[in-house]
């Protein structure tokens, strides 16, 4: 789809469809009033007759509105003006795009981006509108032999701003929104691909192509390289599978050469059977999503590259398949991590932390400013926070705050959980330096505590995205989260958030 920004009056738009909002009860937004005046109260007549009350989620498509240059006018209900916030704004954009796409408009001019949202800038509205639009039209049909084509899909979308002085910030925000959406689409595509296609090798090949396309530096460590480095923990996860593990490293060098990088580490278990501690059958297919942490950090570096962010960003993906093959780890096995610390594997299904800990030691060599790992780490996090917010842990409160703020701004929230020492004792092992599980209580906290033993040398945060990375049920599929949170964090650091 093609996008643009415009400032101008709605009645003068030569467009297949002009979209304006209506508040509840029966109150036109400003662009709506302009159209109403130009059309000798065509719109207010319709509203007075009760065809459009302004209820959130409702639409009314009008043809041949007098006094206008467009073919159609789409009215979108926004709910009560006082309650019009981020969520309502995004819902209005979503329903507008969906309707435009289904009603045969080739192009549309959306005036909803002129409607103020409390505490949010024009740039925010446009960025968000671009992201929501791309989300709404996203389809994953790579494996469908018949693609369901929209008959006359929307090809051109224009977001309107009220003042000419807003054109520049809005255009920057549009470019940002589209880059973020591309990062999310990559994350979703990788997440949605089945485990027999999206293997560690596939992730490495995808990263390789991305590096060539965007001028990123890349290294892919093979099993033998990891053996030399002493990554006994990561390797133990891969040893039950015939798929070879990989450690993917990508660098986006947009900042000064002496500037310390932000490092993102993503869990890349391309399928998690649980290993010898085998998972139960129902819904096990969803464990193809266990590489969504990896997908999200790859999506984030893609977005950063597209935006040419003036920062140094490194992405590290430890990736393996967790299978119960003949060579698999057994409960009670003890492995030595790259850090030298030994781990008793009491449950082979707690494999995420086993691949992450070696990656977190490996990244020390980049002398990071900040390290953030992203992982579908624990079912316990879903119990604690549901599918609304990601779990956030950090060894530095200001970093937790920055990430929480980024999540708020991006409409991709995270909620801080405790990382107090009191929990560490649950990881005690009689036979090794630590066990890889901490019992049923506070499962997502003890998982984070495990990781914290490998991240003492830098500022670090951990995002548990087990509840947010994908949806189950009828709308089963990857969400692209937390690409929005991560990209907003980076935009903020780069001073590029308006
Ligand atoms: N990938 C899972 C976590 C998961 C489970 C995410 C369900 C989303 C939905 C992870 O590897 C895992 O199996 N964790 C175990 C840890 C336990 C053995 C301590 C879990 O959460 O049950
Ligand atoms: Mn597992
Ligand atoms: Zn897992």
Residue 156 lies in a domain: no
Q: In the predicted model, is pLDDT for residue 38 greater than 80? A: yes
Q: In the predicted model, is pLDDT for residue 150 greater than 90? A: no
Could you tell me how far CA 407 lies from the centroid of its own chain?
10
Residue 359 lies in a domain: yes
Residue 423 lies in a domain: yes
Kindly indicate the confidence band of residue 402, based on its pLDDT and cuts at 50, 70 and 90.
very high
133 & 222 share domain? no
76 & 217 share domain? no
Residue 41 contacts by C-beta under 8 Å, 6 or more apart in sequence?
Answer: none
- Which ligand lies nearest to the CA atom of residue 286 in the structure? 1
Q: Exposure of 49 by Cβ count < 10 A (0-12 exposed, 13-18 middle, 19+ buried)?
A: exposed
Instruction: Examine the fold and report which residue of 76, 109, 137 is the final residue of a domain before the chain moves on.
Output: 137
424 & 281 share domain? yes
Residue 99 lies in a domain: yes
Kindly indicate the confidence band of residue 324, based on its pLDDT and cuts at 50, 70 and 90.
very high
Could you tell me the CATH number of the domain that includes residue 94? Answer: 3.40.220.10
State the closest ligand 1 atom to the C-alpha of 380, by its place in the atom list counted from 1.
21
- What is d(CA 277, CA 64) in angstroms, rounded to the nearest whole number? 65
pTM of the model: 0.98
Residue 158 lies in a domain: no
- What is d(CA 214, CA 210) in angstroms, rounded to the nearest whole number? 6
Q: In the predicted model, is pLDDT for residue 63 greater than 90? A: yes
Residue 457 lies in a domain: yes
Q: What is the pLDDT of residue 149?
A: 80
- What is d(CA 142, CA 202) in angstroms, rounded to the nearest whole number? 15
What number of other Cβ atoms are within 10 A of residue 143's Cβ? Answer: 9
How distant, in Å, are the alpha carbons of 17, 169, 374, 408, 468 from that of 481? Answer: 31, 25, 10, 13, 7
400 & 273 share domain? yes
Phi, psi at 157, each rounded to 5° = -130, 135
* The pairing of beta strand 414-416 with beta strand 459-464: unpaired
Q: What is the pLDDT of residue 26?
A: 95
376 alpha carbon to ligand 3 midpoint, in Å? Answer: 6
State the closest ligand 1 atom to the C-alpha of 381, by its place in the atom list counted from 1.
21
Active site residues: 279, 353
Q: Exposure of 63 by Cβ count < 10 A (0-12 exposed, 13-18 middle, 19+ buried)?
A: exposed
205 & 97 share domain? no
Q: Is 358 annotated among the ligand-binding residues?
A: no
What number of other Cβ atoms are within 10 A of residue 67's Cβ? Answer: 13
Q: What is the pLDDT of residue 378?
A: 98
219 & 279 share domain? yes
Range 289-315 burial, b when 16+ CB lie within 10 A, else e: bbbbbbbbbbbbbbbbbbbebebbbbb
pLDDT, averaged across the chain? 98
Q: In the predicted model, is pLDDT for residue 326 greater than 80? A: yes
Q: In the predicted model, is pLDDT for residue 76 greater than 80? A: yes
> What percentage of the chain has pLDDT greater than the value 70?
100
Instruction: Examine the fold and report which residue of 137, 156, 179 is the final residue of a domain before the chain moves on.
Output: 137
For the segment 139-167, the average pLDDT, to the nearest whole number, is 93
Q: What is the pLDDT of residue 152?
A: 83
Could you tell me the two tokens for 13? 């738009």
In the chain, how many domains are there?
2
Q: Is 71 annotated among the ligand-binding residues?
A: no
Instruction: Examine the fold and report which residue of 95, 113, 137 is the final residue of a domain before the chain moves on.
Output: 137
Handedness of CA 45, 51, 54, 58 (dihedral sign): negative
Residue 182 lies in a domain: no
- Which ligand lies nearest to the CA atom of residue 381 in the structure? 1
- Give yes or no for a contact between 348 and 329, defined as CB atoms under 8 angstroms apart: yes
197 & 90 share domain? no
Structural domain boundaries, residue 28: 2-137
437 closest CA partner among 327, 329, 315, 350: 350
Q: Is 102 annotated among the ligand-binding residues?
A: no
124 & 202 share domain? no
267 & 348 share domain? yes
Return the HEC string of 334-403. Answer: EEECCCCCEEEECCCCCCHHHHHHHHHHHHHHHCCCEEEEEECCCHHHHHHHCCCCEEEEECCHHHHHHH
Could you tell me the CATH number of the domain that includes residue 255? Answer: 3.40.630.10
- What is d(CA 232, CA 432) in angstroms, rounded to the nearest whole number? 14
What residues does ligand 1 touch, defined as CB less than 6 Å away? 272, 290, 347, 349-352, 376-380, 382, 437, 443, 466
For the segment 115-125, the average pLDDT, to the nearest whole number, is 97
Q: Which of 329, 344, 346, 378 to mutate to test the pocket of ligand 1 (most atoms within 8 A of CB)?
A: 378
438 & 322 share domain? yes
> What percentage of the chain has pLDDT greater than the value 90?
98
Q: In the predicted model, is pLDDT for residue 153 greater than 90? A: no
80 & 221 share domain? no
351 alpha carbon to ligand 2 midpoint, in Å? Answer: 5
For the segment 488-495, the average pLDDT, to the nearest whole number, is 98
326 alpha carbon to ligand 2 midpoint, in Å? Answer: 18
348 alpha carbon to ligand 1 midpoint, in Å? Answer: 10
Q: Is 412 annotated among the ligand-binding residues?
A: no
Residue 196 lies in a domain: yes
Q: Is 272 annotated among the ligand-binding residues?
A: yes
State the closest ligand 1 atom to the C-alpha of 290, by its place in the atom list counted from 1.
1
pLDDT digits (tens, 9 = 90+) for 421-472: 999 999 999 999 999 999 999 999 999 999 999 999 999 999 999 999 999 9
81 & 217 share domain? no
State the closest ligand 1 atom to the C-alpha of 446, by its place in the atom list counted from 1.
19
278 alpha carbon to ligand 2 midpoint, in Å? Answer: 9
Q: What is the pLDDT of residue 222?
A: 99
Q: Exposure of 101 by Cβ count < 10 A (0-12 exposed, 13-18 middle, 19+ buried)?
A: buried
What number of other Cβ atoms are within 10 A of residue 418's Cβ? Answer: 11
Q: What is the pLDDT of residue 156?
A: 97
Q: Which of 295, 343, 379, 481 to mutate to test the pocket of ligand 1 (most atoms within 8 A of CB)?
A: 379
- What is d(CA 482, CA 455) in angstroms, rounded to the nearest whole number? 21
For the segment 9-19, the average pLDDT, to the nearest whole number, is 96
Q: What is the pLDDT of residue 311?
A: 98
Q: What is the pLDDT of residue 336?
A: 99
Kindly indicate the confidence band of residue 416, based on its pLDDT and cuts at 50, 70 and 90.
very high
């Amino acid at each position: 789809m093609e996008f643009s920004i415009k400032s101008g009056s709605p009645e003068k738009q030569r467009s297949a469809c002009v979209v304006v909002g209506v508040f509840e009860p029966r109150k036109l937004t400003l662009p709506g009033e302009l159209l109403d005046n130009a059309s000798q109260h065509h719109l207010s007549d319709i509203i007075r007759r009760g065809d459009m009350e302004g209820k959130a989620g409702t639409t009314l498509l009008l043809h041949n509105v007098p006094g206008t240059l467009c073919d159609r006018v789409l009215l979108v209900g926004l709910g009560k003006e006082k309650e019009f916030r981020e969520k309502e704004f995004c819902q209005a954009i979503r329903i507008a795009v969906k309707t435009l796409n289904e009603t045969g408009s080739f192009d549309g001019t959306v005036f909803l981006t002129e409607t103020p949202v409390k505490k949010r800038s024009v740039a925010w509205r446009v960025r968000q509108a671009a992201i929501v639009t791309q989300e709404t039209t996203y389809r994953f049909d790579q494996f469908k032999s018949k693609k369901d084509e929209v008959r006359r899909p929307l090809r051109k979308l224009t977001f309107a701003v009220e003042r000419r002085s807003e054109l520049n910030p809005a255009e920057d925000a549009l470019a940002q929104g589209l880059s973020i959406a591309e990062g999310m689409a990559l994350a979703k595509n990788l997440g949605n691909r089945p485990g027999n296609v999206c293997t560690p090798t596939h992730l490495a090949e995808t990263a390789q192509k991305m590096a060539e396309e965007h001028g990123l530096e890349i290294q892919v460590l093979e099993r033998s390289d990891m053996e030399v480095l002493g990554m006994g923990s990561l390797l133990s996860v891969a040893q039950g599978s015939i798929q070879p593990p990989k450690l993917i490293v990508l660098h986006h060098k947009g900042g000064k050469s002496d500037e310390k990088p932000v490092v993102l580490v993503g869990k890349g278990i391309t399928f998690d059977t649980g290993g010898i501690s085998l998972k139960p059958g129902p819904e096990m297919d969803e464990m193809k999503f266990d590489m969504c942490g990896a997908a999200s950090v790859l999506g984030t570096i893609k977005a950063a590259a597209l935006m040419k962010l003036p920062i140094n960003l490194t992405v590290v993906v430890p990736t393996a398949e967790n299978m119960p093959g003949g060579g698999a780890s057994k409960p009670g096995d003890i492995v030595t991590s790259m850090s030298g610390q030994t781990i008793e594997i009491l449950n082979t299904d707690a494999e995420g932390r086993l691949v992450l800990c070696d990656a977190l030691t490996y990244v020390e060599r980049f002398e990071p400013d900040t390290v953030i790992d992203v992982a579908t780490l624990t079912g316990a996090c879903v119990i604690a926070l549901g599918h609304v917010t990601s779990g956030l842990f950090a060894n530095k409160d200001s970093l937790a705050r920055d990430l929480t703020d980024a999540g708020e701004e991006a409409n991709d929230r995270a909620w801080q959980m405790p990382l107090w020492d009191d929990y560490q004792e649950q990881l005690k092992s009689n036979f090794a330096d630590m066990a890889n599980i901490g019992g049923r209580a506070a499962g997502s906290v003890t998982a984070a505590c495990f990781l914290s033993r490998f991240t003492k040398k830098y500022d670090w945060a951990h995002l548990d995205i087990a509840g947010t990375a994908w949806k189950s049920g009828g709308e089963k599929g990857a969400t692209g989260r937390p690409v929005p949170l991560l990209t907003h964090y980076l935009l903020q650091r780069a001073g590029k958030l308006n």
